[in-house]
Amino acid sequence: MGKFEFGIYTFGEMLPDPFTGKTISAAERIENIIASAQLADKLGLDVYGLGEHHRLDFAVSAPPVVLAAIASTTKNIRLTTTTTVLGTADPVRVFEDFATLDLISKGRAEMIAGRGAFIESFPLFGYSLDDYPQLFDEKLQLLHALNEKERVTWEGQFRSALHNNDIAPRPYQEKLPIWRGVGGTPSSAVQAGRDGMHMALAMLGGHAHYAKPLIEAYRQGGFDAGHTPQQLKVAITSHGFIGETTEQAVKKFTPYYARYVKVMLRRMITEDYVKSSTTEDNALAIGSPQDIIDKILYQHRLFKHDRFLLQIDICQPFEDVMRSIELFATEVVPGVRKGLGEE
């Protein structure tokens, strides 16, 4: 197993501030995203990720465009999506975009391909929800074919056929790393393992140990298909916020996360709910640096995963986001590495 990787990600949400009622512009949100990626790169984090949505309360509908802007102002950090909604995208265009990003970044591009938690892209791009699983499966198959060869012949149900077509440009890396994004569906986890894909598992609440059978099913599916452990990496993605102390993190995070959950998930949460999430066995990564160290090490004992990605910026004040990133990079990362025996 290689060195454990740490990263941050965002979907570029734009929600009214719960205290002022003001919403920042898409231009300012993207400016902040680029600045946070620059800080993550400067502080030595391994990965920066962008999600994809096609609605007015998100600033990012074209992740490769924003990632290319980030690539031009960073040096080392890997650039990924969290996730690419592949079912409503053209795999040829997706591959071309990320191959171009890979050239711009000199081999730092990745993607997480997933079905997506929202459905706004289906009517927007002329697809039927009745074809939801079939669209993803077919397009993922095509994406893999494009990644393998520079000329591709292929035929499917939802896209025009390819007849020895050039697939250009080719990426800087020999192949683009393509992870599969998985929520809580065991069949998706097993299929990711059978395909020999790395798996990014979203854990956005509840007890972490509930995800262990899903990860075990993923690895078993991969082993049964003849894949090696090196081909079966696992990333955990989570919401959270890091404060100087547990109490400060809960106090600062609660009003913004409560508003996010109300708007996006149509649920109500309280400060007591957020406070209860600071325990090491809860999937949300909220608390002091030591709380987050304990949480990631607890999860690693359960999962033996390879990467942890944290979404810190759910429309909080930008100075709080930047401080949280700094605490993550300068205190949490060294603490986890020490606990894993990597330092």
**Number of domains into which the chain is organized:** 1
* Side-chain-side CA neighbours of residue 110 (13 Å): 24
- Confidence band of 1 (pLDDT split at 50, 70, 90): low
Whole-model pTM: value is: 0.96
Please give the single-letter amino acid code of residue 298.
Answer: Y
Q: Is 206 exposed, middle or buried (0-12, 13-18, 19+ CB in 10 A)?
A: middle
3-state secondary structure of 172: coil
Q: Is the pLDDT of residue 206 over 80?
A: yes
Long-range pairs, 249-258, Cβ under 8 A, ≥24: 249/278, 249/286, 249/287, 249/288, 249/291, 250/274, 250/275, 250/278, 250/286, 250/287, 252/316, 252/320, 253/286, 253/316, 255/18, 255/19, 256/18, 256/314, 256/315, 256/316, 257/314, 258/18
Residue of higher predicted confidence among 121 and 184: 121
Q: What is the mean pLDDT of residues 291-307?
A: 98
**Stretch (H or E) spanning 151:** strand 151-154
Greatest Cα pair distance in the chain = 61
Domain with residue 179: its CATH number is 3.20.20.30
Dihedrals φ, ψ of 86, to 5°? Answer: -70, -30
72-95 pLDDT per residue, tens: 999 999 999 999 999 999 999 999
- 227-245 average pLDDT score: 96
pLDDT the model gives residue 130:
93
pLDDT given for residue 204 in this prediction: 87
Residue 61's contacts (CB-CB under 8 Å, 6 or more residues apart) are 52, 53, 54
Mean of per-residue pLDDT scores for the chain: 96
Residue 253 CA to residue 282 CA, distance in Å, equals 16
Q: What is the mean pLDDT of residues 164-191?
A: 96
Of 47, 110, 12, 70, the C-alpha closest to 309 is 47
Could you report the per-residue pLDDT of 105-139, keeping only the tens digit for each? 999 999 999 987 788 999 999 999 999 999 999 99
The Cα 246–Cα 206 span in angstroms is 18
The total number of residues shown for the chain amounts to 343
**pLDDT score recorded for residue 298:** 98
Q: How many CA atoms lie within 13 A of 303 on its CB side?
A: 31
Q: Which amino acid is at 141?
A: Q
List the domain range (segments joined by +) for residue 332. 5-339
CB 197, CB 233: distance < 8 Å: no
Backbone angles phi, psi at 251, to 5 degrees: -65, -45
Task: Work out the average pLDDT over 7-16.
Answer: 96
